[in-house]
Structure 1
Amino acid sequence: MVTMVGNESTIDKLVTNLISLEHDAIAAYDSVIERLDDRRLSAQVAEFRDDHLQHLQVLNEIARDVGTEAPTEGDMKQMLTTGKIALADLMGDAAILKAMKTNEDDTVTAYERASRHEDAIPQSKAFFLKALHDEQRHREWFDTTAKTM
């Protein structure tokens, strides 16, 4: 799936869409943690989920600062992100990790764009860059780990 998050014309829409994206990501992470056979992999994925929970907390603060209402759940994309995981589960842990890598592709793209958004103030840009680095680290781990299985 290709995300359009990060192309919004206003910061409030950007933050709202990033919050939805994080809710979708957290749901996918929960699904992965339940489905992985290897508990060591599940433990690492749970750490990554914690990063997303922290991102969500900061985004909710930014939403308050810009005066927009934060979504409390994901959107229709959640069915796609978790559905990919459910299908991959039929083929084992490596397939699940590959499916999560594609989900991380979207979050990396979203935060790359957010970090360049013209309405982002220095504090939000700093957060977007931190989140981008987290997402790049997650994506690299999913990719590398899936390839070595």
Structure 2
Amino acid sequence: MATTVGTGDDLATLVKNFILLERDAIAAYDACIERLDAPHRKDKVSEFRADHARHLDELISLAGRVGAEAPAEGDMKQMLTTGKVAMADLVGGDGAILKAMSTNESDTVTAYERGAGNAAIPAEHRGLFERAHADEVRHKSWMESEAQAA
């Protein structure tokens, strides 16, 4: 599914949307970890979940500094991201689950790439988005590779 997160020119709205994105991602990670069979995959995905928790903490801190709303829960997209993982589990085990997660990561990669280059985000805050983008690229790459190996 295509995301529009990272577009727009209002800093408070951008930060709020990234918080929602991270809440949705964390829910999908929880669903993934719960369903994976291989312990080494659960461990790696748990590491990636911790990256998302860190992104969320940083975004909530940023929200406080820029006067943005910091939603306490995800949005309707959370049902899509977690549902995709649950459906994959029904049809294909670890490989299908990781492939579903990889498609979720496509949205986070795109969103953070946009955020890192968005002129509405002041230069002093861009590092957060650049670091998160690098994390998301790493997550997606591992998930694609591990899905093929499963």
TM range (shorter): over 0.9
Q: Where does the alignment leave 5 or more consecutive residues of structure 2 unmatched?
A: none
Structure 2 Cα separation of the partners of residues 119 and 88 of structure 1: 37
Query: Aligned to 1:92, what secondary structure does the other structure show?
Result: helix
Deviation (angstroms), 1:17: 0.3
Structure 2 Cα separation of the partners of residues 94 and 35 of structure 1: 11
Aligned residue pairs total: 149
Runs of 4+ in 1 over 4 A off after TM superposition: none
Alignment map for 1:20-35 (pairs within 5 Å): 20-35=20-35
Task: Answer yes or no: is 1:72 the counterpart of 2:72.
Answer: yes
The corresponding residue for 2:124 is 123
The corresponding residue for 1:85 is 85
Structure 2 Cα separation of the partners of residues 34 and 21 of structure 1: 20
Deviation (angstroms), 1:123: 2.6
Deviation (angstroms), 1:48: 0.2
Structure 2 Cα separation of the partners of residues 123 and 61 of structure 1: 14
Deviation (angstroms), 1:136: 0.2
Structure 1 Cα separation of the partners of residues 131 and 26 of structure 2: 18
Deviation (angstroms), 1:94: 0.1
TM-score by length of 2: 0.97
TM-score by length of 1: 0.98
Structure 2 Cα separation of the partners of residues 66 and 5 of structure 1: 18
Deviates more, 1:63-72 or 1:126-135: 63-72
The corresponding residue for 1:50 is 50
RMSD: 0.7
Structure 2 Cα separation of the partners of residues 142 and 21 of structure 1: 19
Structure 2 Cα separation of the partners of residues 15 and 102 of structure 1: 22
The corresponding residue for 2:96 is 95
Deviation (angstroms), 1:122: 2.1
Query: Aligned to 1:4, what secondary structure does the other structure show?
Result: coil
